[in-house]
A and B are shown apart, each in its own frame.
Chain A
């Protein structure tokens, strides 16, 4: 069973999770579809598809643990990127003050 959190109710550091754009972006020009990131991530962020051009996608983006980049370390072709941490922490502070 795939674990998918209810992003409307989830919060991170007091800010709504669905307002925090933290998840990996796959560079399909670099990705060799080894699926190591999918095998590694315990939060079911990734999913395999039948699409030949994009057999791997980020499916449950809000499952991604904010500030976690552990999957990127498993990526040999360095195809995964994350947002800038400083921008995200600034955004979280703004969201908390609203």
Chain B
């Protein structure tokens, strides 16, 4: 199992209670853990004292730092341990961004409490977005059995179970009310080395057979024609940095998008299961091969 799959989210605030900036940082942290229960609070004072529990936790956790002032004490605590924070917030920056002046008192006024609320909401929105843009590191796939065929120097596979296909060589893998979408091994072979992907917009509604993204290789531009209808709620952002996943592992790491299914029972009427698609793919491969052989023999003559 990928260790990232169980990464714990932690928030490490400034504890500088002698300045209102520190008090705001503390307030932000409290609001985040109140609104997002899976985030754990780390006490900077205890961490600084070498608390064993915190020392272990931060080695594998995603850490969000809330710095009260430019002294950046929480950041230093993490840097001293040769770790990197997941995100750092500077309250003075946030104060400028939201145009709220920190109070001179150590008891926060209404405006400063509102500022803490806004910053907490921003952190949570980012975390939720990050959840939606799940990358390959946190997505796990079970072992899969494949139908396979080798034609000339090309090797083609089709998953035996769990996937459905349209005749446009795209797949859908339903999991309850959601489904992953991607392209088949046949299509990635036809495209050759994929150099660029254009992913769909989060939140967009798609109908079955809409194009939900495209990918560009040195040879051509092809589309992912959706086998299902629904709403896009996650995209595989890692393909933007690693488009080669579409070639290397089209049924798993090369997934394009995840949708909330609208009516998969109806969509299924125009889809094939693994065996049916494997037969369909073999026919396509042989037709293409015969066509190329014919051209070759004509050229030889």
Contacts and interface: CB of A to CB of B under 8 A. Distances in A.
Interface of A: 1, 3, 12-13, 40, 42, 65-70, 73, 85-86, 88-89, 92-93
Contacts of A92: 270
Contacts of A65: 168
A85 B209 contact: yes
B263 interface: no
B270 A66 contact: no
B168 A1 contact: no
B211 A66 contact: no
A16 B168 CA distance: 16
B137 interface: no
B33 to A, nearest CB: 46
Contacts of B220: 40, 42
Interface in B187-233: 207-211, 214, 220-223, 225
Interface residues of B, number: 19
Contacts of B168: 65-68
Contacts of B298: 1
A1 B295 contact: yes
A40 B225 contact: no
Given A12-B167, A42-B220, A65-B168, 11 more contacts: A13-B167, A13-B270, A66-B168, A70-B211, A70-B221, A73-B214, A73-B221, A88-B209, A89-B209, A93-B269, A93-B270
Contacts of B221: 40, 70, 73
A85 B166 CA distance: 14
Contacts of B222: 70
13 contacts: A1-B298, A13-B270, A65-B168, A67-B168, A67-B209, A68-B168, A69-B223, A70-B214, A70-B221, A70-B223, A73-B214, A93-B269, A93-B270
